[in-house]
Amino acid sequence: MGALSVNLCGIELDNPVIPASGTFGYGLEFSELYDINMLGTFSFKGTTKEPRFGNPTPRIAECPAGMLNAVGLQNPGVCAVKKDILPRLAKIFRKKVMANIGGFSESEYVYVCEMLDDCEQIGWFEVNISCPNVHGGGMSFGTNAEAAAKITAAVKRAVKKPVIIKLSPNVTDITELARACETAGADGISLINTLLGMRINLKTGKPLLANKTGGFSGSALFPVAVRMVWQAASAVKIPVVGIGGVSSAEDVLEMMYAGATAVEVGAANLVNPFACRDIIQALPKAMKKYGISKLTDIIGTANR
């Protein structure tokens, strides 16, 4: 393994940098800007059983040091992803991709994962039980340990590929959720998803978003995300993928010290489409500055 390489659930990555789901589409547009094969991998757009238009507009609101979104899992549905998008992606991305999966019931999560389990391009399932922008699914599973464990076990029974469960920060005790998913068979966990937030239009006195609330992301989240990654990584033995406000090589190192094996970059991609490229290129210099010879040497050392 090289100085930047890590192993995520049995699959080696050239580096730990992963564009987060919902900020990188299915990789096609970004491939026109730079060679996305330099990424560790990427988590593609949250995919559901049926096509979804998403929530009504407006569904984006700016905030200091971040943004609110209530997109609502807009996607073409799993059949279109398998039939049309993955074959196009195979022509430009030679690595395994992470499939982010959304659902509104246990059976929907299982259905989508089963549909994609035979796709050679997919390396992992990132099962999103933490989206705050859909009703009757998403976060309703990710804030209850019993429900999270049930979804985890059902998906694990249905597929052969590694299953990473994406956790919500909108809980009292993140370690309870992390342990429940581990006990139910999860191969890894990723966190944090967005915090639930709201903005008010001062001219109307009404919420800015049509959905009223939305998911808050961006650099303001980073200290919260580091704390939760640190807590979760100290509570489980499975790999942790750190997410939340990451925008620099130094942020990646901090997440890995907290216990992350790999690190997802979200809102930064929406501000600068070259964010992940720039972070990867800056990692060797940052490692040299802090005397780090191999990234695997620092994973979780803040917990020791």
**Which residues are marked as active site?**
131
Q: Alpha helix (H) ranges present in the chain?
A: 78-80, 86-90, 106-116, 139-142, 145-158, 174-183, 222-235, 249-258, 268-271, 275-289
The string of DSSP codes covering 147-162 is HHHHHHHHHHHH-SS-
Q: Which residues contact 120 (CB under 8 A, 6 or more apart)?
A: none
Separation between Cα atoms, residue 188 and residue 124, nearest integer Å: 10
Separation between Cα atoms, residue 226 and residue 239, nearest integer Å: 15
Beta strands 200-201; 206-207: pairing state? antiparallel
Element (H, E) at 206: strand 206-207
Separation between Cα atoms, residue 163 and residue 10, nearest integer Å: 11
